[in-house]
Amino acid sequence: MAANDHSSKPECLIVGHPYAAIGMGAHCRGIVRSLAAAHGNFSVHDVYKFTKPMPREAREFGPLLTEQFSAPVRLFCINGDEVDAVIRTIEQKYEGAFSNGYNIIYPMWELPRYPQEWARQLERFDEVWSPSLHVDVALRGAVKRPVFHMPIAVEPRVQEFFGRKYFGIPESRYAVLFFFDALSYASRKNPWAAVDVFKRVLAQRPLAKLQLVLKINNSARDAQSLQKLKEEIEPIRDRVTLIDKTMTEEEVRSLVRVCDSFLSLHRAEGFGLGPAEAMFFDKPVIVTAWSGNMDYMSTDNSLGVRYNLVPLTDGDYPYWQDQVWADADPEDAAEKVLMLFENPEFGRQLGKRAGIHMRTHFSHRRQGLRYREQLHRIASTHLQKR
């Protein structure tokens, strides 16, 4: 990673979980890499230090870590439900530090309405950044603070490569990849829909050399959903590669690269990093055409799946009341899987256009320059008044 340009201003402290193998950890790392690509002057504060870094991550982020909390601008890469605990932790270490600076929060959320309880927590900050237009609309409707749409970067790095044999994926089959993290709620990621779609495809083409690859993370946190999923795949078990473990970023990205296409029948996404990274790697994607992923999807670079908006019910998701999300059409998704399988050249061309789009519009440098522009606005309009 490029060294900070210490002659540039303003100074910024990125606060979050830089080593955590969760979505907000990836979000934090993306911000760091974006500002580094734009030669920003910043440092990183690991709030809890719970996660032991992998050697490569330690080399990349270790020199940027600081125990100081004196930077005039702080960018918090945390969610609304974390705010109180994070501020308490900071104040215990550095009394009065939080209020002695300009604080930004950059949260994720998936549903159309942002929770009022969390909105009040976000109002403890000076401004709020949103990672997608979907999240932006939700935040603007709930938070009484300035909200700025600040797209996140999608530029996954690959320094190692693991082949199909490493993951147990048959070499001769067309592999369709589906991700889900149990911490992100199985009801939202909707893995059963992926299995349903695959059953429909195989019912039409029983001899087709197709393989569904299901990558699961944190399954121990939702054993009931995992058991239900295993029961669903049992009738087509030889056509499913189930990978149930936590992987390094290098392993995950290799997995994306060795598969032929990416499937996401999510009910809601704040941004949708999985499909976005698959597109970066020139993979054709089949994705529910609703929520945060529509920031980077179009009919020219991806296959959007039709859907119906349906109300959430008790237990579906936190703050489910008066919310809707998308129920993807399994027949439409099955048709699109078959389209890619039977027209490989179409899929390759679609994937190439996807990769060009992501590398052009969502690079670390492009987003990092946008971050720096916003930070300079803060320096010129807010810090001089303090």
What are the pLDDT digits (tens) for 189-222? 999 999 999 999 999 999 999 999 999 988 888 8
- Give yes or no for residue 55 having a pLDDT over 90: no
* CATH 3.40.50.2000 intervals, the chain: 12-153+363-385, 164-361
- Give yes or no for residue 355 having a pLDDT over 70: yes
Task: Quote the pLDDT of residue 6.
Answer: 45
For range 164-185, the mean pLDDT: 94
Task: Quote the pLDDT of residue 385.
Answer: 64
Pseudo-torsion of CA 21, 24, 26, 29, nearest 10°?
A: -120
Task: Quote the pLDDT of residue 108.
Answer: 98
Report the alpha-carbon distance of residue 158 to residue 252 in Å, rounded: 10
Task: Quote the pLDDT of residue 7.
Answer: 46
- Give yes or no for residue 63 having a pLDDT over 50: yes
- Give yes or no for residue 9 having a pLDDT over 80: no
144 burial (CB, 10 Å; 0-12 / 13-18 / 19+) is: exposed
For range 18-23, the mean pLDDT: 88
Q: Which residues contact 59 (CB under 8 A, 6 or more apart)?
A: none
Please name the residue ranges forming H helices in the chain: 23-37, 55-61, 83-93, 116-122, 133-140, 164-167, 186-189, 191-204, 223-233, 249-258, 273-280, 330-342, 344-361, 364-381
pLDDT tier, 21 (very low <50, low <70, confident <90, very high otherwise): confident
Q: What residue type is assigned to position 385 of the chain?
A: K
pTM: 0.93
Closest CA to 343 of 354, 332, 355, 351: 351
Integer angstrom CA distances of residue 361 from 209, 297, 357, 364: 35, 12, 6, 9
Per CATH, the number for 12-153+363-385 is: 3.40.50.2000
- Give yes or no for residue 273 having a pLDDT over 70: yes
pLDDT tier, 269 (very low <50, low <70, confident <90, very high otherwise): very high
Q: Which bin fits 149, alpha (ψ -120 to 50), beta or left (φ > 0)?
A: beta
pLDDT digits (tens, 9 = 90+) for 274-285: 999 999 999 999
pLDDT digits (tens, 9 = 90+) for 144-155: 999 999 999 999
Architecture per CATH, 164-361: 3-Layer(aba) Sandwich (3.40)
